[in-house]
Amino acid sequence: MGWSWPEIKEKLQCPKDEDAQYENTTWCNRDLIPIPPDRRTYGVLSYFGNKMLVSDRRSDPLIHFLGYWTVSGSCISAWSTGSTLLAFGLSPQQAIAVVVVGGVLAGLLAVAFPVVLRVFVACMWFGMQAFWGGQATSVMIGAIIPGFAHMPNYFAAGSHLQTKDFIGLVIWMCAFIPGLLIRPEKLQIPFVICFTFFCGSCFGILIWAVSQAHGPGKMFHEPATAPNVGWAFMFGITAILGSWGSGTLGQSDWTRYAKRRFAPTLSQLVASPLTIGATATIGIVVTSAARDVMGGEIEWNPIYLLAEIQEYYHSSPGVRAGVFFASIGMVFSQFSISVVLNSVSCGMDMAGLWPRYINIRRGAYIMACIGIATQPWQLLSTAEKFLSVLSGFGVFMAPATGILLADYHIVRHYKLRLGDLYTGDSSSIYWFSNGVNWRAFVAFLAGMWPLLLGLALSFSVFWALSRCFPPTGLGLESSFTGEEVIYGVPKSDVDNENETQLQPDATAGSSRQGQQSARNLSSTADGTSSSSLNLGATSSPANSSSSWARPLSGELLSPLNHSTEAERWLTQGTSPTAPSAGPLGSTDEEPLLLYTLEDNKNRTAHSMGLCAEQDTDLLASFRSVIMNETDGVSADVIQISAGNPAYKIPPVHFNVLHDEFQPADDVAKTRASENIEAMVSPHGPILVRLFFKHVHPVYCVVSKARFLQAYATEKLQIPASLRGAIYGLGSMFWQQHPDAPRPLQFDLHDLFEEAHSSLQREFHAPNLWKLQACLLLLYERPADNATIETPRTWIFSSHAVACAQMIGLHRDPGSWQICPWEKKVRKKLWWATYMADIWSSVCHGNPPLIYPASFTTSKPSIEDLAFDEDIPKELAHMVDDSSTSVDISTTARFLQMVELSQILHDLIDSYYLDAGYEKSMADPADRESRLLEVKKRLENWAAMAPQCVTMRCAEESLAFRNNAPLQLAFFATQALLFRALMSPAKPTSKNDPDSSLRRYFAQAVGEFQRFTLFMDEITLACLHSFWGGRKSLLVMI
């Protein structure tokens, strides 16, 4: 039976990875998604050279000899671009100067090229490179079989194609095509082989030529023969730019495999002009010397030169051996250059044209067919024609390059929105007018008209058009979540939510400075500083009752250049002008202001949602000085993001309230603080050390360095609830401290009660410190007779959710004008609250308070979680050596728990809510489909979990015992999943072979066996580690 057309289309689609988290669409396939870390195999030197000797596979290469630019710049075309200049009429010295200037310029123009033009240029280049490879193969065979070199030509004389060259081309193509099966990230070793052979060929020919001619040749002492040296010189530069411009542009296709952001920079600046210049210079010297040795016309092509050398020496055995080995280098060189500059780049560009059916490999096959169809032997027949072809490429490259430079650097200010790059409709900001950016076409045509001035003119025209008719979406870019950093594959459900705005960096000396003078210059922990953060509050009772809050605005200023504007504000009480709103709160007219919502004495910033008493859009219409200029009020409204109505992003405001506690509350907080310190004295520092050694690696919600800095300088300024929570959790591991003098003299439950007592009053002024305390107190030690968490655990988790929402953690801070460190902490604490909410929901059988539509905060990245984990030297004595720096297993553990919590949330929504249960009973097929999707995600989670969070870590490692709670959470989720799949588990279901119970029971038993193996891996060290609130999980299983 024949296949139907839909089946044929499905068969023709590009293959996907087994664990792929993407779909082949019109805009996406495996080769177009961001590269996962395991495929990023190129380090800083890898672009300069790939590894030939590696002592440890986990380290960077020790010796690099070959890489992108050493392969790209060491080839026949690099040789020919120099030697052809001699045939064009330049002297050898002038030709070398052209090569050096053109090579440097080519190394500086590394930008992307429009897809269609890139495909056109790559196909043309491949045709020429393949033909040279075929000719080199022909010479190599002729060195073995001399009669092959004299084979009669059966093609027409005007075709410029010899039969022997055609046979060599077929053989070369047969060897090249299988090489396309090697993935780009695995090509280092093949490059080493190719480069080694080519270097041997170049230096072998150079040594022969210089030794036979007794120097570089007489051409170095002869004047140039070009009728107009100046124009010939410029023509040579443009030819080299046109030639290597595609190589510099193609580097962007390889920088995707970089381990670090600036890894390719060195090769672009050094290896590019070095290798191109060295190879072309060798070509110039050899061409000059070879003319003296053999006479005749200038032979600019090294392949033709090898054939002539064999003829000159009448195919003697020694010469044939030399020509054979030299031609091997040329053949291998063409293999490498065709892969590096043509097949990968063109394949990737073609994949962008039709991702559903074309990937890099298929695109390379198409390129090979088109490249041969261009009849490259016609393009390479003469030196003038060859240079004209190379220079002609620049006619297209220059205006396109100018457009891209203007668009990325000037118009969009280095910001891209990742999700919209994969969207093919009007919802994408890159859709423009029905998918066409007319500004680019106008600028491109304008740039092509004056040819050599195309770059400058197209740059100016495109920038001017974008200025007059600005495209939509300027100022938006995409941020990456921690999960994407680990796995490298963005998930479709977060692409459009992750919007962030780059803030300019302003270094202000030490990252942890002491308190400043009356200016109150707050130094952030990541090296930036925001000044003018003092709200003008004083600690005197007289002022606290009547003073009014000033806006939390401050320019990015260092201690050495504090502005007079800020000075005037602090001394005279006049508020500085707020910035005018840009697309996302930025402005071109005034310096960018940063706010801080934390550490403002006697002031607390409360989030104002869309349903607040003041309309946010109305507030966005006024300057902050207008909203807050009335004396005698105890609140200010500040705007920290102007939003973007075009993209449904509302303005964001906070209401900064003056903290006014009842006298009884102040007395109660002071008493709780004193009681807590009296209980733990003099062991407080030891308990802090134990907390960060045993609890923090499992539950990293405390800003470590920030807490330790405050604890060392102003301990009592830390909320008593947070100090009590850290003391209490740390005391659970008192017996594991080697210097524990004696048993602690206080009752742990009394300590936690004092912390709770203080927290209930501190909630009047919520902030990040107090939310951290609330999250930690969820895991206080329960009563000895409790088999599950007490009901108040559920109540405390709801307190945490309310606290987080009051301070605005449920809103993504990416585009906010707040300090960068605060963005990181806010994201981390929101997702810690999310996890606490869903697991409390499971433990008590109640619906979660947080649901997907109730927040927009993107998941934290590895960098977000690593913030504040490195302890400065002056504070290192406060923690163990294992706690002084960031631990990748700690951050990975948090991210994995976030992912698992999201899966659990979807499971709860699918079955365990009343509305979901009713729907699932009415439509069992839909229920099963949704649950099987959750099952697939859970299986992927287990399969893709990093090694550092599994029970397979080294048993002596601290990570081994700290991973047990995460793995237990996985098995608890799995138990809930199979409980839902086997529902309804009625007595009659056991006898019904079609019942869900019968169909999934065997799978459930198999998974339970994995749980028993997990329990066997639990050691005494695991049991003595921090598990948090996990009793209910064991009961659930």
Cα 570 to Cα 545: distance, rounded to the nearest angstrom = 19
Mean pLDDT within 62-80: 47
Q: What is the pLDDT of residue 268?
A: 65
| pLDDT digits 0-9 by tens, 721-771 | 999 999 999 888 887 776 666 778 788 888 989 999 999 888 888 999 999
**H helix or E strand, kind and range, residue 864:** helix 862-866
Does the pLDDT at position 90 exceed 60?
no
Residue 22, sorted as left (phi over 0), alpha (psi -120 to 50) or beta, turns out to be beta
Residues 6+ apart with CB under 8 A from 682: none
Question: How far is it, in rounded angstroms, from Cα 393 to Cα 127?
Answer: 14
Angle at 623 between CA 620 and CA 629, to 5 degrees: 125
Does position 349 have pLDDT exceeding 90, yes or no? no
Chain CA centroid to CA 89, Å: 49
Joined together, the tokens standing for residue 663 give 């006298």
Amino acid at 56: D
3-state secondary structure (DSSP) of residue 712? helix
Pair type for strands 652-658 and 635-641: antiparallel
Q: Angle at the Cα of 255 (from 253 to 260), degrees rounded to 5?
A: 160
Would you tell me the crossing angle of helices 344-353 and 229-250 to the nearest 10 degrees? 70
CA 3 to chain centre: 42
Residue type, 113: F
pTM: 0.49
- As a whole number, the mean pLDDT across the chain is 71
**Is 804 a residue whose pLDDT tops 90?**
yes
Average pLDDT over residues 126-137: 87
Helices (H), 426-481: 438-448, 454-468
Q: What does the pLDDT read at residue 855?
A: 92
- pLDDT bracket for residue 809 (50, 70, 90): very high
**Paired sense of beta strands 50-53 and 63-66, if any:** antiparallel
For the segment 94-107, the average pLDDT, to the nearest whole number, is 45
CA dihedral 998, 1002, 1003, 1009 (to 10 degrees): 140
Contact 961, 1019 (CB under 8 A): yes
Rounded mean pLDDT, 315-320 = 85
- Residue 1023, classed as helix, strand or coil, is helix
What confidence score (pLDDT) does residue 20 get?
60
Cα separation, 233 vs 239, in Å, equals 10
Q: Quick check: 425 pLDDT over 90?
A: no
Q: Which residues pair with 607 in a beta bridge?
A: 654
Partners of 433 in beta bridges: 436
The dihedrals phi and psi of 100, each to the nearest 5 degrees, come to -65, -50
Residue 113: pLDDT over 80: no
Of 122, 36, 14, 35, the closest CA to residue 347 belongs to 122
Share above pLDDT 90 across residues of the chain, in percent, rounded to a whole number: 12
Residue 708 has pLDDT above 60, yes or no: yes
- The pLDDT confidence band at residue 704, using thresholds 50, 70 and 90, is very high
Mean pLDDT of 291-320: 82
Which of 368-372, 428-432, 860-864 is the least confident region? 428-432
Q: What is the pLDDT of residue 630?
A: 46
Give me the pLDDT at residue 486, please: 37
- pLDDT, tens digit (0-9, with 9 covering 90-100), for 976-1030: 888 888 887 777 777 787 788 888 888 888 878 778 777 777 777 677 677 765 5
Taking only the tens place, the pLDDT of each residue in 822-854 is 999 999 999 999 999 988 888 777 889 998 889
What pLDDT does residue 620 have? 58
Q: What is the dihedral of CA 239, 244, 250, 256, to 10 degrees?
A: -150
- Low-confidence winner among 63-67, 212-216, 573-577, 849-853 (lowest mean pLDDT): 573-577
CA-based nearest residue to 71, from 229, 193, 221: 193
Among candidate residues 444, 394, 55, the one with its CA nearest the CA of residue 243: 394
Q: Which of 860, 1, 63, 51 is nearest to 485 (CA)?
A: 860
User: Cβ neighbours of residue 667 under 8 Å, at least 6 residues apart?
Assistant: none
Q: Which domains does the chain have, with CATH numbers?
A: 37-380 (1.10.4160.10), 381-471 (no CATH), 522-619+635-657 (no CATH), 703-714+754-1036 (no CATH)
Over residues 232-279, the pLDDT tens digits come to 666 666 666 655 655 565 666 666 666 666 666 666 667 667 777 788
Window from 260-274, 409-423, 790-804, 961-975 with minimum mean pLDDT: 260-274
Mean pLDDT to the nearest integer, 613-630: 53
Rounded distance between C-alpha atoms, residue 590 and residue 569, angstroms: 17
What would the two tokens of residue 587 be? 């402005």
pLDDT of residue 501: 33
127 or 452, higher pLDDT: 127
Least confident of 406-410, 627-631, 642-646, 846-850: 627-631
Torsional class of 516: left (φ above 0), alpha (ψ -120 to 50), beta (otherwise):
beta
Contact 134, 169 (CB under 8 A): yes
Specify the pLDDT at position 911: 77
Nearest to residue 726, comparing CAs of 879, 598, 869?
Answer: 879
Specify the pLDDT at position 578. Answer: 35
pLDDT of amino acid 37: 62
**From CA 10, how far away is CA 357, in angstroms rounded?**
9
Q: What is the DSSP letter of 406?
A: I
What contacts 47, CB < 8 A, 6 or more positions away? 67, 68, 69, 251, 254, 255, 258, 263, 264, 266, 267, 268, 271
The pLDDT tens digits for 812-821 are 998 888 888 8
Amino acid sitting at position 794: W
The candidate with the shortest Cα–Cα distance to 556, out of 816, 813, 817, is 817
Q: How confident is the model at residue 18 (pLDDT cuts 50, 70, 90)?
A: low
Residue 206, judged by CB atoms within 10 A of its CB (0-12, 13-18, 19+), counts as: middle
> In this predicted model, what pLDDT tens digit does every residue of 516-526 receive, in sequence order?
322 232 333 33
- Give the per-residue pLDDT at 1000: 83
Residue whose C-alpha is closest to residue 641's, from 813, 858, 856: 813
